[in-house]
Structure 1
């Protein structure tokens, strides 16, 4: 995972962790404001937007965890460090989002079927505008850093999604104030829930892929194997494994059979350097482990490896 500090000056020129923490503070305050506003105004759309804001807060927390754990050293009990903390945080986030979004959707449908309760459009509009402004500020804070950090980029996209949700609430509030058509609140709630659920499902799919040590999205094992076989001195490759500790941190291992004499004439070190450089440059795999073998070495872990 690449996490470089942005080059811009001013408040946006701080470290990525500082920018994420500032955005999280803004998001958390507005989340509370939206929940209170939803209760006082009777707006389900505001509550749905608060759930969306909760998703942003969770994404920012995960991004902060990812930045923090990257600085923690590995030890004898956590030989890869604490990278998986991000994955478990994302798992909890995905489950929570699906549960809350499903509740919002059911409540919206019930309101449409049974008739809308009173919604205070003026208060709903005011709180929605506060959410819109807060999201715009958070996006502005993250705009420079998201160009250089995949970690911040994810948080930036989350905030952008919530800004769209705030726009939906504002439109619904204006409809209620100008026409008195209360179902607009429930319809806006359904639209926001529809934006959240696919994102939460996608997040859970990614988490499950990491936990079962599946091949990272966009990585083609066949392409990696081809690059390895094109390396001078390599005869064959087997027992190939590619997985990731967390998003953006792939790990690779393989057994590589080298040409006769390579292990004794000094070429082994050159071959190993070439293989590791190849994976780092072409596939962005910084952590790779190769076991070099001679043609007479026939040990395999089992028959299920690639």
Structure 2
């Protein structure tokens, strides 16, 4: 029997190129400072002028701040790795857990905003338009800067993706607050603030659900959406010398890190089959691969003992 491990990167000892870079962590830290300052500003002005739209947007910005805090913690843990030998995967799943927490927080904020907005129907307070416009413009500028800081890393890290999505949604919320301010100032429409509050709550929910679904797909170890497992199995069976393929498992450890394990049964040259399999898996974007080469007798034993 022969066995092989095809790795673009290791698992327990993750290579430096695979770890979140210090630059990515620095960008998140800068974004955290910017959003924290504007959170205090927006909440203070919102309470002073009794604006539901500003309070709602401040609540949304709070989720941005929390998302960045949790994302920073997750990325820092993943960057440092684990010194405990039993944590063979390090702390990469911390990113996924933060995404779940972010989604739950977003939904909670959306529900609160919606309930508060309904309570103001029929008794909308007189909200001045000028402060709304000025704070909305400042908040929008802050969001644009933070979006620029997070944009590149959002494709590589689910923690940064969660933070990026929330800041993007908050930028849209700031536009809504700006519109409310203009309507209030130009037409004196007192319900503009309430309507924007409701729209912000509706805007938040679908993005939170999408983020939660992505994270839950990883936690339940479903195959990556980008990998066609039946096609992969068929291609493995088509490798010259391969008689059977079994115990094929493909899952995602965290964003950008897909893993595969598989047993191949063959009477041919083990190393030739192994090289072909590693090349094929690499073409599917599966660099973290463990390939076990079995003889026909060993295959039968595995099929009797493995139940999933």
Asked if 1:71 corresponds to 2:79, the answer is: yes
Distance 2:148 2:291 in 1: 44
Q: Secondary structure at the match of 2:120?
A: helix
> How far apart are residue 171 of structure 1 and its match?
0.4
Once the two structures are overlaid, the 10-residue window that deviates more, 269-278 or 84-93, is 269-278
Candidates 100, 123, 130, aligned match of 1:122? 130
- Given the two structures, how large is their TM-score scaled by the length of structure 2? 0.83
Are the equivalent residues in 2 in contact too, given 1:63–1:155 (CA < 8 A)? yes
Runs of 4+ in 1 over 6 A off after TM superposition: 1-5
Question: Is 1:42–1:120's contact at 8 Å kept on the other side of the alignment?
Answer: no
Query: What's the counterpart of residue 270 of structure 2?
Result: 268
- Of 56-65 and 287-296, deviating more is 56-65
CA distance in 1, matches of 2:18, 2:120: 46
Cα distance between partner residues in 2 of 1:147 and 1:3: 14
- Cα 1:160–1:177 shift into 2, 3 Å: same
Q: Which residue of 2 aligns with 1:288?
A: 289
1:177: how far off?
1.4
Cα distance 1:220–1:117, how it changes in 2: closer, same or farther (>3 A)? same
Stretches of structure 2 that go unaligned for 5 or more consecutive residues are 1-16
* Aligned equivalents of 1:196, 1:106: Cα separation in 2: 14
**Aligned-partner SS, 2:221:** coil
Residues 233 and 133 of structure 1, relative CA distance in 2, 3 Å threshold = same
Which of 201, 204, 212 is equivalent to 1:193? 201
Following the alignment from structure 2 to structure 1, what is the Cα–Cα distance between the partners of residues 254 and 196? 34
CA drift of 1:222 comes to: 0.9
Distance 1:149 1:250 in 2: 12
Residues 157 and 202 from structure 1, CA distance in 2 versus in 1: closer, same or farther, beyond 3 angstroms?
Answer: closer
What's the TM-score, normalizing by structure 1?
0.83
- The equivalent residue for 1:110 is 119
**3-state SS of the aligned residue for 2:97?**
helix
> After superposition, where does 1:35-184 map in structure 2 within 5 Å?
35-74=43-82, 75-112=84-121, 114-142=122-150, 145-146=152-153, 149=156, 155-184=163-192
CA distance in 1 between counterparts of 2:261 and 2:48 reads: 57
Work out the CA distance in 1 between the residues paired with 2:305 and 2:111. 44
Over the residues paired in the alignment, what is the CA RMSD in angstroms?
A: 2.6
Contact 1:27 1:56 in 2 (8 A): yes
User: Which one of 294, 300, 303 corresponds to residue 303 of structure 2?
Assistant: 300
Question: 1: CA distance between counterparts of 2:263 and 2:125?
Answer: 66
- Separation in 2, partners of 1:99, 1:191: 15
Q: Is the 8 A contact 2:20 2:75 kept in 1?
A: no
Q: Distance in 2 between matches of 1:84 and 1:34?
A: 33
Identify the structure with bigger relative contact order (alpha carbons < 8 Å, sequence gap 6+). 2
Task: Return the alpha-carbon distance in structure 1 between the equivalents of residues 72 and 303 of structure 2.
Answer: 41
Q: CA deviation at 1:65?
A: 4.0
Residue equivalent to 1:10: none
Q: How far has the Cα of 1:140 moved from its partner?
A: 3.5
Q: Distance in 2 between matches of 1:237 and 1:206?
A: 29
* Whole-Å separation in 2 of the counterparts to 1:88 and 1:153: 13
Q: Which residue pairs with 1:277 in the alignment? A: 279
Do 1:17 and 1:67's aligned partners in 2 also have CA atoms closer than 8 Å?
yes
Cα distance in structure 2, aligned partners of 1:250 and 1:148: 14
The equivalent residue for 1:9 is none
